[in-house]
Chains A and B, each alone.
Chain A
Amino acid sequence: MLYREAGDFKTSYRDDGQTFPIRLDRWAYYAALAVAFLIVPFIINDYWANAVFVPFLIYAIAALGLNILTGYAGQVSLGTGGFMAVGAYAVYKLMTSFPEINIVIHILLAGGITAIVGMLFGLPSLRIKGFYLAVATLAAQFFLVWLFNKVPWFYNYSASGQINAPERTILGFAVTGPATSAPAKYLICLVFAFALAWVARNLTRGMSGRKWMAIRDMDIAAEIIGVNPLTAKLSAFAVSSFFVGIAGALLFSVYLGAAEVGEAFGINKSFLVLFMIIIGGLGSIFGSFAGAAFMVLLPVLLKNLLVGGLGWPTDLAAHIELMIVGALIVFFLIAEPHGLARLWALTKEKLRLWPFPH
């Protein structure tokens, strides 16, 4: 009854093009932001930060990145883990080489470096499409992980082959290293996730996004109306890798603190992020967040239910949990192949007419 667009008239194209054209959506969005920025930081503890919020925000950034490439520009990629590794190792090298420079600049630069690497591995997309491109990006995944294992310079010749994040501060608060507090971890990830989601929205609603979607939907027609496939595809790879690189940098420096490349950034990560965008919804900003939430929250929820609620032994619960998550993914894909974002959109469409649909 409250959720209506009737009476909410737009008098300029600027108003008509806004992200949340319906007033209630706009309010809900501002309310969510207020809760995320003003309330959660004061009540968050280590468990909630490490188990739920921080991984959710970091994977949401990675999912946004992959969604730009796969969901919007239609280029399938299985190299996400490798590109996250580039971000992680880039930020590690920058942090250790230039300790006096602010960590935020390092993280952004790590994103930039990943963007360049991503563009390089995106070059085959000009010639090959679909499954074949997926295989080509798979090569990126394996090559990058191999490279970071093989060349000791990347891990500063440490004996264990691991990289460890030294302590860095913003405004006096530690954001990396063992002394980091839960609110600090949460806030730095939140700021990046919020800013990048906003950038992703801007890019996809403007001409860049239209070029990407044109290439995705019909590349020949796109070229005929004036899209240069070279710049469109490579810009998608660059932006996507920028996002993924930042996610990798945050995952290593803020969340994990220490990482070994094969373990932290293996092919599993690529699949995890790909599942997120498929379940969340291809070509949707909201879907990237929903998918990340689904894949991060569901195991935590199940674990709490099985171990905490039903008192099962931990090892049994861990195996059952994998099976349930797998089954739920299959169920969701059958019920709604276009992901949670479509489910959400359908609910809202129904809600507009509720409770008098006729």
Chain B
Amino acid sequence: MNQQTEITADGRQIGGTLMEMKNITLRFGGVEAIKNISFDIREGEIRAIIGPNGAGKSSMLNVISGFYVPQEGEVWFKGQRRGPMKPYQVARLGIARTFQNIALFDGMTVLDNIMTGRLNRMRAGFLSQALWWGAAEREEIENRERVERVIDFLEIQNIRKTPVGRLPYGLKKRVELARALAAEPQILLLDEPMAGMNVEEKEDMSRFVLDVNDEFGTTIALIEHDMGVVMDLSDRVVVMDYGRKIGDGTPDEVRNNQEVIDAYLGVAHD
């Protein structure tokens, strides 16, 4: 809340701090996966977290989504300190995510999968659901309309009624994004959204990420290994290595940071 609203070169609005990580330390037994890291995510921006394998990026995302509780440090969301929470409670705050290796519900259709994204917005009582009367049916139709908008947006109309288990990899990734989007989150966490995709699929996915940010104004935090994609998409980048933060700033700043270059290219010890 301390920063001024900025308008970027392409006309998007970036507001104040939405989420702030303060001195996070996460240990697994004797291993320190994250060492005293602080950074913030501002409203409306695309924030990337990068780093070599094993740097602690996914652990960081798991801390944000409530999957891991850090031993030290605080997570602030919308100006309030977030206490220890279960993942489903974090989801209710408006934080949605996708997974590195797809975590869809294989036995359900694409439509049902995306509808699960709306579950925090459906409040019909059990009796109403059992009798399919009143609130249950009304909510189902209202939320279906919202979900159809997401389906249109991600161009997956033709697979609406297909069971997810039958879909190819690239489409599954898209359905997973759709499920996260259906929740209309305040922050969308993407764990390697382009992993394992070919160039064309990566381009599609990049376009969707930008469009989501642009049209819905959703704040996005993403982990990605493809440097070209990261530098093109993101407003600001956090660089991690061995659980430490070694760089933080705009793509240009990060690219010219000596420590980052060393971490990625290796450094000659003599």
- Residues on A lying within 8 angstroms of B by beta carbon are 12-14, 17, 199, 202-203, 205-208, 210-211, 213-214, 216-218, 220-229, 235, 283
8 Å CB contacts to A: which residues of B101-124? Answer: 103-108, 112, 115-117, 119-120, 122, 124
Q: In the assembled complex, how far is the CB of residue A201 from the closest CB belonging to chain B, in whole angstroms?
A: 8
What's the Cα separation between A208 and B67 when bound, in Å?
23
| Cβ contacts B165-193/A at 8 Å (1 or 0 each) | 00000000000000110010000000000
A224 touching B65, Cβ below 8 Å: yes
Contact of B107 among A211, A223, A283 (CB under 8 A): A283
Contact of B105 among A12, A14, A213 (CB under 8 A): A213
* Chain B residues with CB below 8 A from A283, complex form: 107
A227 touching B119, Cβ below 8 Å: yes
**Nearest 5 CB-CB pairings of A with B:** A226-B91, A221-B103, A217-B105, A202-B132, A13-B144
Contact of B115 among A12, A14, A202, A210 (CB under 8 A): A210
Taking A203-B130, A217-B107 as given, write out 8 further A-B residue pairs in contact, using a Cβ cutoff of 8 Å, ordered by the A residue number. A203-B129, A205-B132, A207-B129, A207-B140, A213-B112, A224-B65, A224-B91, A224-B97
A202 touching B105, Cβ below 8 Å: no
| Cβ contacts B85-100/A at 8 Å (1 or 0 each) | 0111001100011010
A218 touching B129, Cβ below 8 Å: no
| B141 on interface, CB distance cutoff 8 Å | yes
A208-B126, A210-B112, A211-B119 are contacts. A217–B106 as well, Cβ < 8 Å?
yes
B67 touching A221, Cβ below 8 Å: no
| B199 on interface, CB distance cutoff 8 Å | no
A207-B119, A217-B107, A221-B105 are contacts. A199–B136 as well, Cβ < 8 Å?
no
A221, A226, A235, A283: residue with the most chain B Cβ atoms closer than 10 Å: A226
What's the Cα separation between A205 and B115 when bound, in Å?
11
B130 touching A199, Cβ below 8 Å: yes
* Chain B residues with CB below 8 A from A211, complex form: 116, 119
What's the Cα separation between A229 and B119 when bound, in Å?
13
* Chain B residues with CB below 8 A from A213, complex form: 105, 107-108, 112
A225 touching B144, Cβ below 8 Å: no
Identity of the chain A residue whose Cβ is nearest the Cβ of B182 in the assembled complex = A225
